[in-house]
Each structure stands twice: as C-alpha cells, then as structure tokens.
Amino acid sequence: MYLHRELETMQRGEIAKLQLERLQKTVRHCMNSPFYRKRFEECNLTPDDIKSLDDLKKIPFTTKQDLRDTYPFGIASVPLEKAVRLHSSSGTTGNPTVIIHTQKDLDEWANAVARCLHMVGLRPGDVFQNSSGYGMFTGGLGFQYGAERLGMMTVPAAAGNTKRQLKFITDFGTTALHAIPSYVTRIYEMMQEMGIDPRKDTKLKTLIIGAEPHSEEQRRRIEEMMGVKAYNSFGMSEMCGPGVAFECQEQNGLHIWEDYYIVEIIDPDTLQPVPEGEVGELVLTTINREGMPLLRYRTRDLTRILPGECPCGRHHVRLDRMKGRSDDMIILKGVNIFPIQIETILMQFKELASNYLITLETKDTNDEMMIEVELEHFDEDYGKMQKLTREITRLLKDEILVTPYVKLVPKGSLPQSEGKAVRVKDLRKPF
Amino acid sequence: MTVQQISIFVENKQGTLLKVLELLKEANIQLVASTIADTVEYGIYRIICSEPQRAFATLKGAGISVAISDVFALTLDNVPGRAADAVRILTQEGIGITYMYSFLYEGKGILIFRTDNPDKTRSVIENNNLSYITDEDLTK
C-alpha cells in the first residue's frame, strides 16, 4: 500500500522532528549559496538561529524575482560541477527561472514522483504514457524518471499528435496516462472520431491530470467519459516539477510530501500566516534538495490546508485544489503566461494602440486565448492588416508557447477601464 | 481619374454599420456606393459619397477608425464585356488589383479599384484612353 512506508506513514510528531533536522541541514548548506549567505548577513541571521521549526519565520521569503535577479546560478548552493541537470521555466518576462539539480536531487525527485504514482495504485507491470512536453518542461522528464523508478514501462509520447497518442494507448496497452485535463478531452474526441471506446478498446484505468487549474466537476467528467480514475497532480518547476503534492486514492485533497517541503500558507498582503484551514498563498521550503534549495519560496498559488485526517493513513497535510494565483499569472494548457509578456510583444508594433484585452475561453472543450488589440492607425489596407495579425501571432507564439487568436479591433472599441486596467478575462468553464 | 473613398474599420458586431450610417445621415451626406465583404473578424466598409472630406471629418470626430484615400474610377459603357476589357488591359500590364467594386452612375458603369502600382496604373489608363470620372463628377 505504501512505497516508502516509514516516510509516508510518519506521525505528525515524527514529521516535525525530521523537518527540523532537514531544515537545519538545509539552512547550513545554503550558506554555500552567494544569494542566501548575503541575505542571512543582511538580516543578522546565522544557521544557528534556527533552533525550532518556528524559527523558519526569521528567514525572509524567496520570490520568483529573486530567481530572476540571480539568473542563472546565483542561488545555487553547490558548485556547478556538482550539477547534472538544469531546468528552466516556460516563458517568463525577462530572465527565466533556472533550477539546477545534483544527481541526488534527481534521485529524490524520481522517488517523490514514484511515491505519488504508487499512491494512486500504479505498480510495476503498468504501462505509463506521458503526454507532457519534454525538454525544459519538467512534466516530461519528471514523470519519466518517476515512472521508471517505480518500475513501469514508460512511454515518452511527449506532447501533441493525438492520433499517435491513441495508437500508443491501444497498441502498447497503456494503463496509465499523464495529460493536462483539457488534452484528455481532445483525446476523447479523437477516440470518438476513430470509433474507439476507451472502456472496451483500451486498458486505461488511471489518469494523472494536473498542470492546469480544473474543478472537481471536470475530474468527474473525465473519469466518466474515459472510464478511469483521475488523480490531481501538483508541482512547479521551482520545486523540481511534478511530485510535490498528489492525491491519494481517497481523492480528497493533495498530500504534500512534508519530508521534502515545509508548508506555510500566508496572507499575500500581510505576509502573516493565515488562520488554520483558510485560503492563502502557498509558501514552500525545500528540505530535501542540495543543488538549489529554496527557503520560504512564495509560489503565488492560492490554496488552503484541508482539516482532518485522511483515511489513507498518511499524515502529510493535504492541500485543497489550487484556487488561483496571488499574481496575474495565467496558466493555459499547462504553460505559465504573464500578461506583461503579451503586452511587451504588442507594444513592439507601432501600428497598435496601447489598449488590449486577453480573453481565455473554452471552445469545443479546448481552452483558447483570444487577444483583442486596438489598431492605432487604420489605412484601409486589408492585406496589411492580415499580415500584421499573422506577425503578431507568430511573435506571441514564440514568447508564450501557445498560439493565441489575435484580433485587431478599431481604436476606442475596447472597454476603457477606470483605474487598474482589466487586461484578462477568464471565461473558461470547466465543462 | 481617381475619386476619394472613405474606408471604415468595423468590428463584426451588431450596430456598427448603423452607427456609421446614422452619423453620415445626420451630416446630410449622400452615399453614392458602398461595399463591405463578409469576414470573420473585422470588415472594411468602403464608401463613395458626396463631400468625402466632410464625411471623413465627421466620422473621425466621432471616434471612428476611418481612412480616406484615392481610388481609381473608370467609366464603362453599360454593355456586356466592358469590365473585362478594362481589367484585361491592366492585367496585361502586370498590374494587380487589390479590390474592386462597381455601380451605375448616370447610366454609366463605374468601376472602382485599387492596385498594387498606382503610378503605372495612371499611365496605363492615360495611354489606353480609358475614360474615368473624378471627384468633381460626383459632387456636381
């Protein structure tokens, strides 16, 4: 029932003890990081000041901006020759965020993912197909190594080419598939088109869905149409990638591995802890990483810790579904996008005015992005406008990695908002 | 040889055309011809009218995305085949037509078009003695 019985079933007291031990070790190790050494000096703090878990609060938060400012290696706590892998975030403004991993980090990451997959009932003998993008996107290699670590035959199908995904599913007898929720729907549509009944014609029984906000209704619908159990997965590149938190078979929240992370939920405005069980920003401290530990990292994801015990016997706290973001980041098709990235591209075009509107909507069960932008100067040349539209689309695709639907509109036709401009309208409906 | 044409950038949204036409009506401007193609995203509504300069100023003043430009305006006898004859001459000279529309005015066919090479179009029209109208013909 448990892959790492001891670690998975630790009582709260044991978790706290292990966490303090690992926190102290991590903080000491962080003094090898130029960034943290300086930051501790600035706060007159030394590793010896961390005597209890409560002392964690003495350490300042680490932000995404810190990662950008120290790009690429300024936070690393090991010399580069100790690192064996580098991952970098998908599209962000300015410098991307880089995380480096030692061999031990990769091992521990694979262990965490393997533990998650085992928790939802997958075992050696299962065939695991991963439709994540590979490359820099951590959902690819992260699940690959985790699934292999568990001992499953793992099919690195990678993203796209739905027909081929389906061929793999049927030909290889795929029993477990990792996909973003909106892509599952795409696969189902293709199955219908090709006359494949997922219940009869495939061996699929488990779906791992994540990297995209989705509702309980969406999960139930996916389970219903595919005839599977679908489990929510949570991760982020700054915390390695997948394997941070995962649902168990109870499907009542995502256990976050507290032997890897110390969890805090804070009010993003006051930066103080929220009362127990209330929604706030998730703050994570890595306590099982050596290449690039992050102390009190502000994830910007909004969630809460679910109260009560889980019948599965694991005492690692459970996070509720992510409720949104404390910044304006958009998550579309598993890709992180900041509106400022879009704005930066649009503003390169002299032909465009400064007013624009990003609309996220669900079209035929696919999540799409529409960008309406006002045309500054209209000179009656239809061909030029089409060319302009194509060029804007191309540059945006390069920047944000998804293809938006760009629509030029007459100047003055977009709503003029008073005060803070509303640039993003999220009309996506979870089915 | 050319007449002034008003082009309006319109959204594919109910009421957009009406707004433009109401503005022109209030300004007492007479439409001679107008055209718009069906498109998914946006359209360009093109108008030939009396007092194009005043029409342009009226629309611009109302915050409409509008442009004014010169387009060629040939007159054709109202018999079959005259449009083909005119376009053949342009095509043979390697001139590309960006868009074209036509209407009847005082018993003659008027062919409005824009080309990818205005200077060459001018000399082709002159050299072939094609007949045309100008703004004055429309405002008299």
Choose among B7, B63, B99: nearest Cβ to A412.
B63
Residue at A346: amino acid letter = L
Q: Which residues of B touch A382 (CB under 8 A)?
A: 44, 98-99
pLDDT at position A421 = 58
Q: A380, A387, A409, A411: best mutation site toward chain B, by most B Cβ within 10 Å?
A: A380
ipTM: 0.79
Number of residues in chain A: 431
Could you tell me whether strands A245-247 and A254-256 are parallel, antiparallel, or unpaired per DSSP bridges? antiparallel
- Architecture per CATH, domain A5-329, reads as 3-Layer(aba) Sandwich (3.40)
Q: Is there a common fold for A5-329 and A338-426?
A: no
Tell me which residues of chain A have a C-beta less than 8 Å from any C-beta of chain B. 375, 378-383, 385, 407-413
What gap in Å lies between CA A110 and CA A142, rounded to an integer?
7
Same domain as B8, residue B59: yes
* Torsion sign across C-alpha atoms A302, A308, A312, A317: positive
Q: Which residue has the higher pLDDT, A215 or A282?
A: A282
Quick one: B19 and B60 in the same domain?
A: yes
Q: Which of B22, B44, B70 is the last residue of a domain?
A: B70
CA atoms within 13 A on the CB side of A416: 5
Burial A27-62 (b: 16+ CB within 10 A, else e): bebbeebebbeebbeeeebebeebeebeebeebbbb
Could you say which of A381, A407, A410 has the minimum Cβ distance to residue B10?
A: A410
| Contact yes or no for A407 and B41 at CB 8 A | yes
Domain that holds residue B101: 71-132
CB B132 within 8 A of CB B75: yes
Q: Is A411 within 8 Å of B63 when comparing Cβ atoms?
A: yes
pLDDT digits (tens, 9 = 90+) for A221-265: 899 999 999 999 999 999 999 999 999 999 999 999 999 999 999
Domain chopping of chain A, boundaries: 5-329, 338-426
Judged by average pLDDT, the poorest of A95-104, A135-144, A163-172, A336-345 is: A336-345
- Among the candidates B46, B70, B94, a domain finishes at B70
pTM of the model: 0.72
Residues B105 and B54 in one domain: no
Would the pLDDT of A213 be above 80?
A: no
Return the pLDDT at A93: 53
* Number of structural domains chain B divides into: 2
Does residue A413 or residue A319 have the better pLDDT? A319
- Please enumerate in sequence order all residues whose Cβ is within 8 A of that of A356, keeping only pairs 6 or more positions apart, or say none: A342, A343, A346, A371, A372, A373, A374, A414, A423
For testing the chain A interface, which of B13, B20, B42 should be mutated: the one with the most A CBs within 10 Å?
Answer: B42
Sequential DSSP letters for A277-309: T--EEEEEEESS-SSS--SSEEEEEEE-BPPS-
Residues in Cβ contact with A47 at an 8 Å cutoff, skipping those fewer than 6 apart: A24, A27, A28, A30, A31, A40
Candidate from A375, A380, A385 with C-beta closest to B69: A380
pLDDT of residue A92: 46
Does the CB of B12 have a partner CB in chain A at under 8 Å? no
> Residues of chain B whose pLDDT is less than 70?
140
Q: Out of B37, B70, B103, pick the residue that ends a domain.
A: B70
Any idea which of A47-61, A157-171, A278-292, A314-328 has the lowest mean pLDDT? A314-328
Average pLDDT over residues A278-289: 96
At residue A417, the pLDDT reads: 54
CATH code of the domain covering residue B60: 3.30.2130.10
Spatial distance between the Cα atoms of A345 and A356, rounded to a whole number of angstroms: 12
Mean pLDDT of chain A: 92
Is the pLDDT at A422 greater than 90, yes or no? no
Residue B98 · residue B114 · CB < 8 Å: yes
Percentage of residues in chain A having pLDDT higher than 90: 71
Beta partners for residue A264, in sequence order: A283
A416: number of Cβ within 10 Å: 7
Choose the closest CB to A380 out of B11, B42, B44: B44
Contacts with A378 from chain B: Cβ below 8 Å: 7, 9, 65-67
Cβ-based contacts of A413 with chain B (< 8 Å): 11
pLDDT of residue A333 exceeding 60, the answer is yes
Task: Give, in order, the Cα–Cα distances in Å from B99 to each of A26, A339, B80, B138.
Answer: 70, 37, 21, 21
Element of type H or E holding A99: strand A98-102
Structure-block tokens of residue A375 = 């045309």
Q: Inter-chain contact A378–B10, Cβ cutoff 8 Å?
A: no
Residue B137 within a domain: no
Q: What pLDDT sits at residue A419?
A: 45
Give a yes or no: residue B48 inside a domain.
yes
Residues of A in contact with B11 (CB under 8 A): 409-410, 413
CATH architecture for the domain at A338-426? 2-Layer Sandwich (3.30)
pLDDT-above-70 percentage for chain A: 97
Classify residue B138: in a domain, yes or no.
no
Phi, psi of A369 (to 5 degrees): -115, 125
